[in-house]
Amino acid sequence: MPVATPDQYKQMLNNAKKNGYAYPAINVTSMSTANAALKAFADKKSDGIIQVSTGGGKFASGSVADMALGAISIAQHVHLMAEKYNVLIALHTDHCHPQYVENFMLPLVAETEKRRAKGLPNLFNSHMFDGSELPLNENIKQSKALLERFAKSELILEVETGVVGGEEDGVNNEHAPADKLYTTPEEMVEIAKALRPIGTFMYAATFGNVHGVYKPGNVKLRPTILRDGQVAVKKSLGAEAEHFLVFHGGSGSELSEIHETLGYGVVKMNIDTDTQYTYTRPVVDFMLKNYDKVLKIDGEVGSKKHYDPREWLKAAEKGMTERIAAACDDLKSSGKSLLLGNTH
């Protein structure tokens, strides 16, 4: 099935919110990691979201070091491959901080605009603007300007207020003030008032979530922050204004806490740290077990079969696929692809 249309993507989000599940949103950096995600979603009969960060795009472009070009390359690969799988895939870009809007986000939006002018589908379905480092009024101002442009191409914007702690993709918020780790109900109402009249958007409200690697129980989440914010939005603007919420920094979260957030409107959960590990771990295992075969030591020639990158990348993809499949189960999206007719 081709990458989801704008209408299909909106239906994905509406169904998830209505029925209490969320989509794993998988950061990818290559054809290999994208293939691992596609297989996982197909195996679990789950629709899903594949996303590219600024750093992921830069890596994918090789020595050219062009983050937008790398993201376009990955997106084109997913468009081609998604047609071979019987689930819906949405394409998204992750954390774009204000300094990268001009050379990352806007070239991708322009690419979609060019495609639409030719009668082709959108390149990406949605993009995240992370203006959380800005004062709220400036964050809202820039988000409104972006969404006004997005809406013309049926693109969805993801925004964030508050700060997700920890470090990801070179951005370090390990020492963020404690009060910034929690979005307030007032902020959630302001965002709804400002953006809802313009177009569809998702909202990464923060509730103590932290990027990075943590043991279960070490991340102190307060999911009730989301509940209270949604209640405030509903009281102020009506039930139809409740947000499509996004869960960032889920590593180290208890499954019970993840499930609690699903009841408060989380429809998308970003997964990166865990998939990085499960992609790398099988490679380490392969190399240690086949040390004398992947290296030409003591004058020997090694084993081409073992140092052929396809051999150990296959193991890497399998490990990542298994972790994403588990995420589909955890987020309750397994077996709920729209293509199966599961609309209730």
SS (H, E, C) 6-52: HHHHHHHHHHHHHHCCCEEEEECCCHHHHHHHHHHHHHCCCCEEEEE
> What is the Cα–Cα distance from 161 to 204, expressed in whole angstroms?
7
Two tokens at 111? 């690419």
Widest Cα–Cα separation across the chain: 75
> What is the Cα–Cα distance from 311 to 93, expressed in whole angstroms?
30
Give me the residue label for tokens 């043991």.
Answer: 215
Two tokens at 72? 């376009």
Positions marked catalytic: 94
Give yes or no for a contact between 294 and 307, defined as CB atoms under 8 angstroms apart: yes
Give yes or no for a contact between 57 and 69, defined as CB atoms under 8 angstroms apart: yes
Give yes or no for a contact between 72 and 108, defined as CB atoms under 8 angstroms apart: yes
Give yes or no for a contact between 302 and 296, defined as CB atoms under 8 angstroms apart: yes
Is beta strand 156-161 parallel, antiparallel or unpaired with respect to 266-271?
Answer: unpaired
> What is the Cα–Cα distance from 171 to 183, expressed in whole angstroms?
19
2: nearest Cα among 66, 61, 89: 89
> What is the Cα–Cα distance from 123 to 92, expressed in whole angstroms?
9
CB atoms within 10 A of CB 231: 15
